Structure 1
Amino acid sequence: MTTPTTKAEGAGRLQLPPGSKVGIIAGGGKLPIDVANGLTDQGHKPFILMVQGEALPESQLGQFEHEVLSLESIGSLVGILKRRGVTHIVLAGEIKRRPRLGAMRFNLGLLSIVPLVISALARGDDGLLKVVVRGLEARGFTVVGAHQIVPTLTAGEGTLTRLAPSKADWKDIKAAHEAAIAIGVLDIGQGAVAIGGRAIALEGIEGTDGLLARVKDLRGHGRLAGKTGGALVKCAKPDQELRVDLPSIGVQTVEGAHAAGLAGIAVEAGRSLILDSATVISRADALGLFVIGLPAKEHV
Structure 2
Amino acid sequence: MSPSPKPPEAGAAPARGRLAIICGGGAFPLAVAEAARRAGREVVLFPVRGFADMAVESWPHVWIPIGRFGLLKREMRRHGCTEVVFIGTALRPRIRDIRLDWTTLTLLPRVLRMLRGGDDHLLTSLGRLFEESGFRLVGAHEVAPEILIPAGQLGGVAPSAEEMDDVAVGRHALGVTGPLDIGQGLVVMNRHVVALEAAEGTDLMLARVAELRGNGRIKAPARCGVLVKRPKEGQDRRLDLPSLGTRTVEGAARAGLAGIAVEAGGVIVTDVAALVRAADRAGLFIYAFGQDEAPAP
* Structures share fold, TM-score greater than 0.5: yes
Percent identity between the aligned chains?
A: 38
| Aligned residue identity for 1:31 | F
1:85-126 deviations in Å (ceiling 9; x for gaps): 11111100011131433643231x214433332222223211
Which residue in 2 is equivalent to 1:25? 22
Match of 1:224 among 218, 225, 247: 218
- Alpha carbons 2:148, 2:268 under 8 Å: kept: yes
Cα shift readout 1:140-163 (whole Å, capped 9, x = no counterpart): 111111100110111222112221
Show the counterpart of 2:99: 104
Where does residue 266 of structure 2 map in the other structure? 271
What are structure 1's unaligned runs of at least 5 residues?
1-16
Alpha-carbon distance between aligned partners in 2 of 1:204 and 1:114, rounded to the nearest angstrom: 26
Deviation at 1:223, TM superposition (A): 5.3
Give the corresponding residue for 1:206. Answer: 200
Distance 1:274 1:132 in 2: 24
Q: CA RMSD in A?
A: 1.8
Alignment CA distance shift 1:299-1:275 (3 Å):
farther
Q: Is the 8 A contact 1:71 1:99 kept in 2?
A: no
Q: Which residue of 1 aligns with 2:209?
A: 215
Q: Are residue 196 (structure 1) and residue 193 (structure 2) matched? A: no
Q: Specify the alignment match of 1:286 in structure 2.
A: 281
**Change in CA separation of 1:72 and 1:134 when aligned onto 2, cut-off 3 Å:** closer
Is 1:163 equivalent to 2:157 in the alignment? yes
TM-score by length of 2: 0.89
Instruction: List aligned pairs for 1:1-300, cutoff 5 A.
Output: 18-57=15-54, 59=55, 61-101=56-96, 103-107=98-102, 109-222=103-216, 224-228=218-222, 229-296=224-291, 298-300=293-295
Q: Any runs of at least 4 consecutive aligned residues in structure 1 with deviations exceeding 6 A, and if so which?
A: none
Counterpart-to-counterpart distance in 2, 1:82 and 1:133: 16
SS in 2 for 1:76: helix
Aligned match of 2:8: none
Distance 1:75 1:104, change over 3 A: farther
Q: How many aligned positions are there?
A: 281
2:288 and 2:70 map into 1 onto residues whose CA distance is 39
TM-score (norm 1): 0.88
Q: Residues 105 and 118 (structure 1 numbering): CA distance in 2 closer, same or farther, change over 3 Å? A: closer
User: Are the aligned partners of 1:75 and 1:105 in contact in 2 as well (CA < 8 Å)?
Assistant: no
Instruction: Please state whether the residue corresponding to 1:219 is helix, strand or coil.
Output: helix
Give CA-to-partner distance per residue, 1:154-190, whole Å, 9 cap, x none. Answer: 1222112221210111122122222333332221211
